[in-house]
Copies of this chain bind each other. A is one copy, B any other.
Amino acid sequence: MNQTPLSEFPLNPRLAADTHFVTSLELCNVLLVNDARFVWLILVPRIEGAIEVFHLDELQKVQLATEIDQISGVVLDLTNCEKLNVGALGNIVRQLHVHIIAREISDAAWPGPVWGVGTAKPYSAEAKSTLLKKIKSRL
């Protein structure tokens, strides 16, 4: 499938509502989940209609892996976390998206997965701005 230009890419409304836009990479938009309990980024390939990773063509798959690697590095550098969780689930939002989450033994969901656990704790405007700056400075 062809890549959609950034300005025309229709982000799923639920993803848009639950996240802050960070930046756009070659293939993916990078989003910060608005939940201060976890440092949690999401990559969304700008490929309209893609639901599963195998819907991407070979070059796009390689690029997605590269960007997962890049964002994993950013999250690790930011948090020095105990473990990264990387996953493409999409049971609720079908638009293909990949979660990259810093996990800590002290976090609200450890050692379980984060999805569906408790209630998101939105960032304050200041915390959001500070974190977005830290992320962008590493990209």
Residues on A facing B (Cβ under 8 Å): 51-54, 61-62, 65, 68-69, 72-73, 76, 83-92, 94, 103, 110-113, 115-116
Jot down 27 A-B pairs with beta carbons below 8 A, ordered by A: A52-B72, A52-B76, A52-B84, A53-B86, A54-B69, A54-B72, A54-B73, A61-B65, A62-B65, A83-B90, A83-B91, A83-B94, A84-B88, A85-B88, A85-B89, A85-B91, A86-B87, A86-B88, A86-B89, A87-B88, A87-B89, A91-B103, A91-B111, A91-B113, A112-B116, A113-B113, A113-B116
Interface residue SS majority, chain A: mixed
CB of A120 to closest CB in B, whole Å: 15
User: Across the interface, which residues of B come within 8 angstroms of A90, CB to CB?
Assistant: 83, 85
Partner of A53, one of B52, B69, B115: B69
